[in-house]
Amino acid sequence: MLPGWAMQGSRGDENRAHKGPESASSRRTLGQWVHHPEGITKSAELGFAPRGHLAANRWSLLAAKERTLVSRDTNGGTTRRDRDAGKPTAARAASLSRRTAWDLTPSRLAMRLAERRRGPRPLLDLADSNPTRVALREPAAALSATLAAVADDTESLRYLPEPCGPTPARVAIAAMLREDGATVAPEHVVLTSGTSEGYAHLFRLLADPGDLVHVPAPGYPLFEHLAALEGAETARYPLREPRTGARWRVDLDALAASLEPHSRVLLVIHPHHPSGSFLDPEDLAALRALACERGLAIVSDEVFAGSAFGAEASPGVLVGADAGPLHFVLGGLSKRLALPQLKISWIAVGGPAAQRDDALARLEFIADAYLSVSPLLAAAVPELLARRAAIAGALRARITGNRTRLAAVLAGGPHELLPAEAGWAAILRVPGVRDEDALVMSLLERGVWVHPGSLFDLESRTADGTPCAHLVLQLLAEPSVFDRALEILSPALARCYGFLP
Ligand SMILES: Cc1ncc(COP(=O)(O)O)c(C=O)c1O
335 CA distance to ligand 1 middle (Å)? 8
Name residue 133's amino acid. R
- pLDDT at residue number 86: 61
* Cis peptide leading into residue 88 (ω within 30°): no
pLDDT value at residue 39: 28
Contact in structure between 283 and 249 (CB atoms under 8 Å): yes
Which residues, in sequence order, are bridge partners of residue 498?
Answer: none
**pLDDT value of residue 89:** 65
Percent of the chain with pLDDT over 70: 81
Q: What is the mean pLDDT of the chain?
A: 85
Q: What pLDDT, on a 0 to 100 scale, did the predictor assign at position 46?
A: 24
Residue 29's pLDDT is 27
CA separation for the pair 442, 155 (Å, rounded): 55
pLDDT band of 247, cuts 50, 70, 90: very high
Name the least confident of 101-105, 232-236, 271-275, 283-287: 101-105
Supply φ then ψ for residue 471, to 5 degrees.
-120, 135
Residue 239 has pLDDT above 60, yes or no: yes
Max Cα–Cα distance, the chain, nearest Å: 71
What percent of the chain is modeled with pLDDT above 90? 76
Going by alpha carbons, the residue nearest to atom 14 of ligand 1 is 129
Give the whole-angstrom CA distance, residue 187 versus residue 162: 12
Contact assessment for residue 7 and residue 258, using Cβ atoms and an 8 Å cutoff: yes
Average pLDDT over residues 1-16: 29
Whether the ω angle into residue 216 lies within 30 degrees of 0, i.e. cis, is no
Task: Tell me the H-state helices in 131-237.
Answer: 137-152, 167-178, 195-206, 223-229
Please tell me the predicted confidence (pLDDT) of residue 5: 26
Edge-to-edge strands, sheet with 468-474: 416-417, 425-431, 468-474, 451-452
pTM, 2 dp = 0.84
pLDDT range class, residue 338, cuts 50, 70, 90: very high
Cα–Cα distances in angstroms (integers) from residue 283 to residues 163, 254, 272, 279, 435, in the given order: 34, 13, 13, 7, 33
Of 133, 273, 457, the one to substitute when testing ligand 1's pocket (max ligand atoms within 8 A of C-beta) is: 273
Instruction: Delimit the domains of the chain by residue range.
Output: 3-87+96-118, 124-137+388-499, 154-386
Q: Report d(CA 394, CA 406) in Å as an integer.
A: 18
The packing angle between helices 479-494 and 388-410, to 10°, is 30
Q: Let me know if the fold of 124-137+388-499 is the same as that of 154-386.
A: no
The model's confidence at residue 24, banded by pLDDT at 50, 70 and 90, is very low
**Contact predicate 449/123, CB 8 Å:** yes
Q: Tell me the per-residue pLDDT of 72-110, one tens digit each, with 9 for 90 and over.
A: 233 334 445 555 566 666 788 999 999 999 999 999 999
pLDDT surpasses 70 at 71: no
Q: Could you give phi then psi for residue 462, rounded to 5 degrees?
A: -80, 175
Topology of domain 154-386 in CATH is: Aspartate Aminotransferase; domain 2 (3.40.640)
Predicted confidence band at 219 (pLDDT cuts at 50, 70, 90)? very high
CB 31 within 8 A of CB 76: no
Q: How far is the CA of 1 from the centre of ligand 1 (A)?
A: 29
What is the average per-residue pLDDT within 111-134? 96
Dist CA 476 CA 392 (whole Å): 12
| Enclosing H/E stretch for 82 | helix 80-84
- Cis link prior to 221 (omega < 30° from 0)? no
Residue 162 has pLDDT above 50, yes or no: yes
Residues lining ligand 1, CB < 6 A?
129, 194-196, 220, 269, 273, 301, 303, 332, 334, 340, 345
Reported as a single tens digit per residue, the pLDDT across 380-412 is 999 999 999 999 999 999 999 999 999 999 998
Distance 196 CA to ligand 1 centre (A): 7
Distance 169 CA to ligand 1 centre (A): 20
N residues, the chain? 501
> Which of 402, 425, 392 is CA-nearest to residue 139?
392
Q: How far is CA 472 from CA 133, 454, 462, in A?
A: 19, 9, 16
From the CA of 332, give the closest atom in ligand 1. Answer: 10
Q: Give the list of residues 6+ apart from residue 446 with CB closer than 8 angstroms, or none.
A: 488, 492
CA-based angle 346:351:352, to the nearest 5? 140
Cα of 74 vs centre of ligand 1, distance in Å, is 34
Q: How far is CA 328 from CA 202, 207, 268, in A?
A: 8, 14, 10
Q: Please choose, from the candidates 58, 67, 121, the residue with its C-alpha nearest in 3D space to the C-alpha of residue 452.
A: 58
CATH class, domain 124-137+388-499, is alpha beta
| Closest listed residue to residue 188, CA positions, set 161, 209, 167, 207 | 167
Using the predicted structure, report yes or no on whether residue 27 has a pLDDT greater than 80.
Answer: no
Say if CB 129 and CB 424 are below 8 A apart.
Answer: yes
Ligand 1 atom closest to residue 197's alpha carbon, by position in its atom list: 11
Do 99 and 228 contact (CB within 8 A), yes or no?
A: yes
CA–CA separation, 350 vs 345, rounded Å? Answer: 17
- 278 in Cβ contact with 315 (< 8 Å): no
